[in-house]
Chain A
Amino acid sequence: MTTYYSEEHEWITVEGDIATIGITQHAADQLGEIVFVEQREAGDEFEKGDEIGVIESVKAASEIYAPVDGEVVEANGALEDTPGALNENPEGDAWIYKVKLADASQLEDLMDLDGYKALIG
């Protein structure tokens, strides 16, 4: 399964027309210890670049920006009680959304792992 990466430090994997979105380990490390995640609800539609949530660390609040157009199918409810999971396993269990893609061709604008590694140096 291909993983795509955005410049806002999100990763996306796709199965059929459902994509799973999360933040990268690099982003989680930069944010510091995460204490709260504000998520959109299932059914909410959004466009690429929209703010679709907020991650609060002990240091500060950071917005999550949509890397593609779509609709929330499921928000990871486990993050409500255990936001710290985003520090532990942000590229696994601690995914943030499952979304229905509006336009799969937008994935082509995203980076692959090598591109992302180059971005974060």
Chain B
Amino acid sequence: MTDTPKRTPLYDLHVELGGKMVDFAGWEMPVQYPMGIMGEHKHCREKAALFDVSHMGQVILKGDNIGEKLEAICPQAYATLKEGKARYGFFTNEDGGIMDDLIVSNAGDHFFVVVNASMRHQDIPHMAANLDGVEVTEIFDRALVAVQGPKAEDVVGELCPAARDLTFMETTVADINGVSCRISRLGYTGEDGYEISIPEADAEAVARAFLAHDDCEPAGLGARDSLRLEAGLCLYGNDIDQSTSPIEASLAWAIQKRRKEEGGFPGAERIQRELAEGAAKKLVGIKPEGRAPARQHVEIQCAEGNTIGEITSGSFGPTVGGPVAMGYVAKGHGEVGEKVNLIIRGKAQPAEIVSLPFVQQNYKR
């Protein structure tokens, strides 16, 4: 992490567009452009925004029965993941904690995996060590670009008609500007949209072609964070980590029925027990009543004044028009509508437990 931050194939474009560059997980990334975080966030919700997510780890898995083998390190039903489909998941450790979250796609003759930038150094060896007979190759010569928002289909479809035919969590390979790209209809903003893996030499031209559309503007990591928070999506390192189980993190939906019943993944004992008996804490949505944002590590107290947990992600939600947060509360708490207090700079600020997401997800099913 102390090394000079790396640059993505879109670095020069970010600078040209006025991106404010910051070091993020060892990468020099735009946190915002001149439009600003709020404007970029709203533009994504209303039209379309382009994000550079090339810092994330792209991995190709080749070999036989990859899906079955992934089931030994992930609680997801990857053995039955059909060709052309993508599925959200995570690696669990022996204690049932989350090592990282990821997206796995069945690309037919191989599997395509995207992992977090901050965890790629862990995930690649983890897969190489545990996927017997599978060739694990981290790709360094492709950019990853997300186009997200209700107009994303127009922006991407204009250059790539095949993209229009995809529905949520489907993936394909198609030409954009004469360049073969992997196009997946998914993202991390709560909006419809795509993530597109592009050969690095062509990435800037493709990104410029998307940005040439009237409805598409560049957006940085700041907007990406507020968008995913409003969408109730976890950020690894904030909301989930090695110690939190998927059940605590309210991610039981991401473990398919067969896996819940059969187990057979690291930490299955704890995860199955928590499914049956409930977890010691759980991740919930929290809406502060005032205007003060409740940031990470803010203490949550119940109405009686006892500490029941802490905020793990909190910010101002531009679409909500006020502060939004997620955090863990102890078992026995967390019913929607429960009144709590957030201790912000020593003062108790009233807040309410709310259902997630804060804004309706807008996927193309």
Contacts and interface: CB of A to CB of B under 8 A. Distances in A.
B76 interface: no
A56 B293 contact: yes
Interface stretch (A15-23, A29-37, A111-119): A29-37
A35 B293 contact: yes
Given A58-B226, A59-B31, A32 B291 contact: no
Interface string B11-49: 000000000000000000001100011100000000000
Contacts of A36: 291-293, 316, 323
B173 to A, nearest CB: 37
B222 A38 contact: no
Contacts of A56: 292-293, 316
A102 interface: no
Question: How extensive is the interface on chain A, given as a class?
Answer: 10 to 19
Contacts of A61: 293, 295
A50 to B, nearest CB: 14
Contacts of A32: 32, 36-37, 222
A83 interface: yes
B45 to A, nearest CB: 14
Contact of B291 (A33, A35, A58, A59): A35
Nearest to A81: B291
Nearest to A34: B316
Interface in B278-316: 291-293, 295, 315-316
Contacts of B89: none
A38 B292 CA distance: 8
Contacts of B31: 59
Nearest to B316: A35
Contacts of A85: none
Interface in A40-64: 54, 56, 58-61
Interface string B39-79: 00000000000000000000000000000000000000000
Contacts of B38: 33, 58
Contacts of B315: 58
Nearest to B223: A58
B318 interface: yes
Given A36-B293, A38-B292, A58 B318 contact: yes
20 contacts: A32-B37, A32-B222, A33-B37, A35-B291, A36-B316, A38-B292, A38-B345, A56-B292, A56-B316, A58-B36, A58-B226, A58-B315, A58-B316, A59-B31, A59-B37, A59-B222, A60-B295, A61-B293, A61-B295, A80-B291
Interface of A: 32-33, 35-36, 38, 54, 56, 58-61, 80, 83
Given A36-B323, A38-B345, A59-B37, 15 more contacts: A32-B32, A32-B37, A33-B37, A35-B316, A36-B291, A38-B292, A56-B316, A58-B37, A58-B38, A58-B222, A58-B226, A58-B315, A58-B316, A59-B31, A61-B295
